Amino acid sequence: MLSRLSAISLSLITPVAALLVVGCIKPSPDPIRQTPVEANFPVRSDWMVLSAPKGTPTGWYLPGQPPLSFLDQPLDSLQGDAALLIPEVKSSAILTTKVFKHLETDPRPLIQTGLDNLFGTPAEPHVGMGEAAIADRLKRMKETIDKTKDADEKASLKEDLKVIEGWQKASAGIEKAVTDLWLEPEMLKKGGDLFRNYCQQCHGATGDGNGPGGKFLIPLPRDYRSGIFKFITAEPNDAGTKPRRSDLARTIRNGLDGSAMPSFAGLRPNQIEELVSYVMFLSIRGESEFQLMKTAADKRKADDYAPAESEKMLFSSLDNILKIWARSNEQPLDMQPDPYATPAQRLEAAARGHRIFLDATQGGCTACHLNYGRNALYQFDAWGGMTRPRNLLQGTYRVSKDPQDLYARLYCGIPGVGMPSHKHLKPTEAEKEAGQSRLWDLVHFIRAAGDAAKRRELREKMGVNLGD
């Protein structure tokens, strides 16, 4: 019986190549460099951004000098754009995970233990403790309780026992999510080998976006640890939206135009799926850590954090994060078909899209895309890096200019950079009956704006002038 990865491969490749996949002809193994494997994933000791800083930089940072790097200097020495981050640090919108002077003890050793128990090591990654490991811990805890004579200590151990019993109940759901999301240890181990070979140089061993070459790139490589990804096709929801597996696979396979993220289309389909699983793993591990660190590092929440509760809090975060990933993976966006079939209809749609673009109550696009993006302001993003709203006249987009991709960007927004969801523009029943869609109107306007010939046609036939 073929594995599910083999089934994917067979659906995408030629019959001859299919023979290679199922083993009739054994392919030569890919040359995987023996990249050193760290002993464990270290607990973070850097700056943690809780929300995008509000300052407006005057231009891009210099290669090798991303914004957060300046915060390792005394704050009173910062000048220029770097000084814009000082209010965010003082307001605890940016927290350090290097020092915990507000706590009696450094929480990182206990956090390290909890993370190692839940996620393993780079050489042996996994998600969750596993039912067998939890059952063993329960057994040992019960034996310890039976041997304990002190009444207070016995009562405390019984409370700990209840916590572990709660883990046992939740572990079945975690195991199911691990299977459904393709996060089994063997999948992660293969993905880890590929990640160290192809991705770690930029994205770093923990997925922090700070690999040896990453800090010199503009924009910075994605930091997975906050759980935020920009390019998704999942139905937006208030509890949080993650990319679907197909979203991550598309980014790995195609790369991102206008950035340093290259295409890895030369990898086999099963390798791309293994990489997707490992990127998800790094994000889930990183976000579990992020949620706990957010409480531990914030002086205002010192009473909410007890180091002894670290593992319990990590387990709870893992359970919630996996549920969000599972829901997002199962709920693709509601993409309505393009109602416009002819060039004339699409030109008219583009003209309507221009009006929506300018209308603050519908598109509200000019708030960021000043002069259609020509004069867009620089901004900090949710990772503490920088971004700038797209100049729509250039016709270059990170994912692609494919109409469905532009629809997805409008419908889902672009998390982390301030691009909101325009889900509210979904066609009403009346619009459907009239054969119109405001979302598709915007898509056709954006496509026309990035094409000099189409802009000329808009100007000459529809009276829409974009100033060129």
Shared domain for 306 and 405, answered yes or no, is no
> Per the domain annotation, does 132 fall within a domain?
no
Does 304 reside within a domain?
A: yes
For residue 35, the model assigns a pLDDT of 67
pLDDT at 266: 96
Domain of residue 387: give its range. Answer: 343-462
> Considering the domain boundaries, does residue 57 fall inside one?
no
317-352 burial string, b = 16+ CB within 10 Å, else e? bbbebbebbbbbbeeebeeeebbbeeeeebbbbbbb
Whether 325 and 362 map to the same domain: the answer is: no
325 and 456 part of one domain: no
- Does residue 212 sit in the same domain as residue 308? yes
Q: 421 and 393, same structural domain?
A: yes
What is the predicted pLDDT for the residue at 403? 95
Residue 137: the pLDDT is 85
Domain shared by 364 and 426, yes or no? yes
Do 317 and 362 lie in a common domain?
no
| Residue where a domain stops, chosen among 330, 353, 388 | 330
Q: Which residues of the chain have pLDDT under 50?
A: 1-3, 5-29, 31
Same domain for 195 and 258, yes or no, is yes
* 6 found inside a domain: yes
In a domain, 58, yes or no: no
Q: Is residue 434 part of a domain?
A: yes
Let me know whether 325 and 348 are in one domain: no
- Residues 188, 289, single domain; the answer is yes
Q: Is 76 among the domain residues?
A: no
Report the domain count for the chain.
3
**Do 324 and 416 reside in the same domain of the chain?**
no
Q: The pTM is what? A: 0.89
Return the pLDDT at 39.
86
Residue 318 shares a structural domain with residue 363: no
8 Å CB contact between 451 and 401? no
